Structure 1
Amino acid sequence: TDPSMHYVTLRFVSQRQETARLPPGPTPLPILGNILQFSGKEVFKTFVKKYGSVYTVYMGMERIVVLCGYDTVKSALIEHGDVFGARGHLPMIHKLSSGGVAGSNGERWKQLRRFSLTTLRNFGMGKRSIEERIQEEAHFLTEEFRKTNGQPVDPTYYFSKAVSNVISSVVFGNRFEYEDKEYLRLLNLLNQLFRDFSSVWAQVGNANDHLFIMERLPGPYKAFSKAIDEILKFIAEKVKLHQESLDPNSPRDFIDCFLVKMEQEKSNPDTEFHMTAIMNTTFDMFFAGTETVSTTLRYGLMILLKHPDVEERIHQEIDQVIGRNRAPCIEDRSRMPYTDAAIHEIQRFIDLAPLGVPHKVTQDIEFKDYVIPKDTTIYTLLSSVLQDPTLCKYPHEFNPGHFLDSEGKFCKNDAYMPFSSGKRICVGEGLARMELFLFLTTILQNFTLRSPVDTGKLDLTPEISGFGNFPRPYQLSFVPR
């Protein structure tokens, strides 16, 4: 027999065997993969019913293994965290965060993550803590709501301005006035990026590894790319100003700390602290630190409009623990189990990032009776954890009782995984949870929420659902208490 034919046969058999040991999944089309099936609602849940808690899909020619349910996701991210701990490559993710902490791997990721966590922690213990910055911003926000005189408003940009000012204070060293035109333009770009990233065309972009083609065609991707460039330009100007006024002995903010680190490592040819890294890491923190929390607050108040009984119980707890004469502080959280449970349930219910951010496996791994080849992109379907019926009695209903025991005390629930889990858990989890508690309690300490329309007409299903879930537009009134 011809040796070359024997080699081809062995290679073909090997490929068939690899495919045979992959988790099952829908049959992909050439080039497109399963992309056409992703436009339907509940598509991932439909696949779970058909193929089980581990299945394979294709975004274009990119192979993706999807993990569903708490036990499966926990097994991957906690029990096999070293193998599942890398960031998966998807073109749109790469465009959004190619050299920062969110999109990197290996030594770059380790060093940038360690630096970011340490710097945030140090600011939390500095002369002016992060808690104080949030309290200050919550005060400015309530004053803005007071100016509405109880008239209905769309809360979108109120929350974007306030939440973004917290991360701006930490990263850039200053907050912005709410009417600052440059700031409002920046927030509009951030909001549009977050929405675009969940659109159908973004899914097409993730199926196409040749984004330079899309970038040259008219349409949404070109606008998406331009928005990123505009934000990076804004950051570059801020970095330049910091370089000109830097005092290495007294860093004012995250950018100063990064510049000091760059100087310390300038003689290291393998350093991960350089201009590209400071730009991309600052972008990561500014982008993630604005839209995630502000969208959660916006969605949360809409839920409270639909559940006035929950709002009333939070009001009662605020009056009992905090009163009306001082600002809420983070220490209050441990004495406010119902409010804490309601905030956890808001995050669980809205399912802000249903797909999580992609991971990949760093080596071949036998997992749940299948073999997942090295470098395969992994989706940990966070919505399947947040709505796991074995952990939540009413997975599709809003019920703070999911986080309360029989005596009304706060209790942890393993279904709570909005920040993912394991090695890649969100760097800003602590900051985000602090913001949600302080903003929400400050608002409800001062106001009662009212809807200008029958609350029965408020639809809590997302307006857009892709990589992120977005609430439908609505208005509400802030009535002083």
Structure 2
Amino acid sequence: MASSSSSTFSSSLLKWMDIQVLLVSTIVFLLLADIMRRRRPKTFPPGPLCWPVIGNTVTIDFKKAHLELCRLAEQYGNIYSLKMSSSWSVVLNGYKMVREALVTQGDTMADRPESALSMEVSNHLGVVTSNGYLWRQQRKFALFTLKYFGVGKKSLESAILDEFTHLSRDIEELDGKPFNPHLPTNYAVANIICSLVFGHRFEFTDKKFQTLMAMFDKTIELEASIWAQLYDAFPMVMKRLPGPHQTVRNIYDHVKVFLREEIEQHKKDWEPSEPRDYIDCYLNEIEKSKENAAAGFTEDNLIMCSLDLFVAGSETTSTTLRWSFLYMAKYPEVQEKVQAEIDRVIGQSRLPTMADRADMPYTDAVIHEIQRIGNIAPLGLPRYTTKDVQLGDYLIPKGTEIIANLTSVMFDKEEWETPHTFNPGHFLNKEGKFVKNPAFIPFSAGKRVCLGESLAKMELFLFFTSFLQRYTFSMPAGVKPVMDFRFGITLAPQPYEICATPRHL
């Protein structure tokens, strides 16, 4: 009996050991397979050690990713490679390398990679993450329609200045007391794109509008976080786990509901012969393009395109303005020179116009320098090689994600006299006239350059000049400007309070 029990125990033990050996062998095999799969291709540039399974995902501090990528450039050169998700990425640094890729080789890098999270949100639609023929048609239509409704023209100036007037009334009531400019500035700038896309503005007190803006602000931060990277690396797992990545999905679901409501409202009183805004024009295009399904003119795409325009047309400009208030408070001597130029060219009896910019080289230089050192889009948005391409000494194969580190361009020591110092002289010649610097590419470059660039330039000049015409910015008593940033798709200042004291001349 004892012999039988002993035999059964031995048999069970052997089976358990066999299972353990099988499990260990399977794990080792999978790790080795992953290591082989993740080996850096022979033609690839060098880069940091790529760990099994996780690659470089958790070796980068995503709270300051742009600085981490600049640090790696010091070690590996202006072109190196990382394994950030399920595929390899090549990171480009410095003006010459970035220009070579995005402009000279731009035809091979006009597409966006298909990250799991962005595809979950966009489903290959919109004007930001779509590719190919559909993207070209949507971008062409968006540029034409925005221009039709005044972008880049004098007719839009009054809408921007009216929005400043709404904002300034709220600031005036504070009588120089400290306030956080984040949300008020967001509301004013966002209302410009609302007027173009929806055909109307929102009151700053509108609860639905406030919620929408808060959602956008949150997702801009989360989409560049480690959570988004983990989602892209392990989508099947992360999709089922709780965390901030789920917040991004929920936010976009809410935003899409809001946009669909706007579209349905438009359809109730839509007159094809008299389009009022982007949505009306798009509804017209849906009817015209029924025979051309590949162009992608559908209501689902209208939702995504509207969302893309809303983000592209508001976030970067409002963030730049918030940096501008901080820099004016930090450098009061610069603020005084801007105000002196405003008083000399425009005076106090009227609001500025875009025609004034040619006569205001110092103000123009200050705005550009704020954009440069504020570094609003630190990494831009990734590109994707559509065929094998030679970059530097390396052959980058088709299907490789390209990250153009715009931070390395904006602070390139070969292109800027004092790259880490706030210096409007970067954009002025010896005679004090404004000069362009080719390394100034805050809106990226090439075929995927930000389609909201013209609108942003108008808004920045008119808002900034109007603010400095009417107010002097300073920190609250006893408080020094803190130039710390909050990393996201855009690089925003940490929350702060500032005083806007009315100028009485």
In structure 1, the residue corresponding to 2:310 is in which secondary structure?
Answer: helix
Cα distance in 2 for residues equivalent to 1:215 and 1:131: 45
Cα distance in 2 for residues equivalent to 1:16 and 1:188: 39
Which shows bigger deviation, 366-375 or 108-117? 366-375
Matched, 1:76 2:101: yes
User: How far is the alpha carbon of 1:94 from its aligned partner?
Assistant: 3.1
2:102 aligned partner, one-letter code: L
1:8 — aligned with what?
A: none
2:147 — aligned with what?
A: 121
2:166 — aligned with what?
A: 140
Cα distance in 2 for residues equivalent to 1:434 and 1:474: 26
1:461 aligned partner, one-letter code: D
1:66–1:314 CA distance, 2 compared to 1 (3 A) = same
1:36 aligned partner, one-letter code: V
- Counterpart of 2:334 (choices 289, 310, 330) is 310
User: How far is the alpha carbon of 1:82 from its aligned partner?
Assistant: 0.4
Gaps of 5+ in 1: 1-13
User: How far is the alpha carbon of 1:377 from its aligned partner?
Assistant: 0.4
Cα distance in 1 for residues equivalent to 2:409 and 2:241: 38
> Superposed, which structure 2 residues align to 1:170-319 within 5 Å?
170-208=196-234, 210=235, 213-319=237-343
Cα distance in 1 for residues equivalent to 2:153 and 2:84: 48
Normalised by the length of structure 1, the TM-score is 0.93
Deviations, residues 408-463 of structure 1 (Å, cap 9, x unaligned): 110001221110001000000000111011111111111111210445x322131x
User: How far is the alpha carbon of 1:269 from its aligned partner?
Assistant: 3.7
Matched, 1:89 2:130: no
1:84 aligned partner, one-letter code: M
- Counterpart of 1:461 (choices 473, 480, 484) is 484
User: How far is the alpha carbon of 1:18 from its aligned partner?
Assistant: 8.0
Cα distance in 2 for residues equivalent to 1:232 and 1:92: 16
1:50 aligned partner, one-letter code: Q
Matched, 1:36 2:58: yes
In structure 2, the residue corresponding to 1:325 is in which secondary structure?
Answer: coil
In structure 2, the residue corresponding to 1:55 is in which secondary structure?
Answer: strand
User: How far is the alpha carbon of 1:470 from its aligned partner?
Assistant: 1.9
* Contact 1:57/1:63, CA 8 A, preserved across alignment: yes
Q: CA RMSD in A?
A: 2.0
In structure 1, the residue corresponding to 2:367 is in which secondary structure?
Answer: helix
Matched, 1:474 2:500: no
* Contact 1:155/1:476, CA 8 A, preserved across alignment: yes
Cα distance in 2 for residues equivalent to 1:124 and 1:172: 14
1:57 — aligned with what?
A: 82
Matched, 1:428 2:448: no
2:31 — aligned with what?
A: none
> Superposed, which structure 2 residues align to 1:354-365 within 5 Å?
354-365=378-389
Gaps of 5+ in 2: 1-35
In structure 1, the residue corresponding to 2:149 is in which secondary structure?
Answer: helix
1:11 — aligned with what?
A: none
Cα distance in 1 for residues equivalent to 2:343 and 2:211: 38
* Contact 2:137/2:295, CA 8 A, preserved across alignment: no
User: How far is the alpha carbon of 1:200 from its aligned partner?
Assistant: 2.9
Cα distance in 2 for residues equivalent to 1:193 and 1:331: 36
In structure 2, the residue corresponding to 1:296 is in which secondary structure?
Answer: helix
* Contact 1:142/1:442, CA 8 A, preserved across alignment: no
1:292 aligned partner, one-letter code: T
User: How far is the alpha carbon of 1:265 from its aligned partner?
Assistant: 1.1
Deviations, residues 8-43 of structure 1 (Å, cap 9, x unaligned): xxxxxx999981211111121122111122117532
1:161 aligned partner, one-letter code: Y
User: How far is the alpha carbon of 1:216 from its aligned partner?
Assistant: 3.3
2:82 aligned partner, one-letter code: V
* Contact 2:151/2:455, CA 8 A, preserved across alignment: no
2:502 aligned partner, one-letter code: P
1:104 aligned partner, one-letter code: S
Deviations, residues 169-227 of structure 1 (Å, cap 9, x unaligned): 0000000111111111111111111122233322323333x1x5434322211111111
* Contact 2:111/2:385, CA 8 A, preserved across alignment: yes
* Contact 1:387/1:415, CA 8 A, preserved across alignment: no
Matched, 1:45 2:45: no
Which shows bigger deviation, 191-200 or 326-335? 191-200
User: How far is the alpha carbon of 1:298 from its aligned partner?
Assistant: 0.7
In structure 2, the residue corresponding to 1:198 is in which secondary structure?
Answer: coil
How many pairs does the alignment contain?
464
Which shows bigger deviation, 371-380 or 123-132? 123-132
Cα distance in 2 for residues equivalent to 1:127 and 1:437: 14
2:85 aligned partner, one-letter code: G
2:52 aligned partner, one-letter code: P
User: How far is the alpha carbon of 1:49 from its aligned partner?
Assistant: 1.1
User: How far is the alpha carbon of 1:364 from its aligned partner?
Assistant: 0.9
Matched, 1:406 2:430: yes
Which shows bigger deviation, 19-28 or 156-165? 19-28
Normalised by the length of structure 2, the TM-score is 0.88
* Contact 1:135/1:438, CA 8 A, preserved across alignment: yes
* Contact 1:195/1:470, CA 8 A, preserved across alignment: no
* Contact 2:339/2:468, CA 8 A, preserved across alignment: yes
Identity of aligned residues (%): 41
Cα distance in 2 for residues equivalent to 1:330 and 1:126: 9
Deviations, residues 49-103 of structure 1 (Å, cap 9, x unaligned): 1111111101132210001100001111111110122112223333454410011
* Contact 1:382/1:418, CA 8 A, preserved across alignment: yes
Cα distance in 1 for residues equivalent to 2:105 and 2:152: 36
Cα distance in 2 for residues equivalent to 1:314 and 1:17: 54
Greater gyration radius: 2
Deviations, residues 97-129 of structure 1 (Å, cap 9, x unaligned): 441001111001110010000011111179992
Cα distance in 2 for residues equivalent to 1:202 and 1:121: 34
1:7 — aligned with what?
A: none
> Superposed, which structure 2 residues align to 1:319-338 within 5 Å?
319-338=343-362
* Contact 2:38/2:52, CA 8 A, preserved across alignment: no
2:475 aligned partner, one-letter code: S
1:458 aligned partner, one-letter code: P
1:369–1:35 CA distance, 2 compared to 1 (3 A) = same
Cα distance in 2 for residues equivalent to 1:262 and 1:161: 30
1:119 aligned partner, one-letter code: T
1:440 — aligned with what?
A: 464
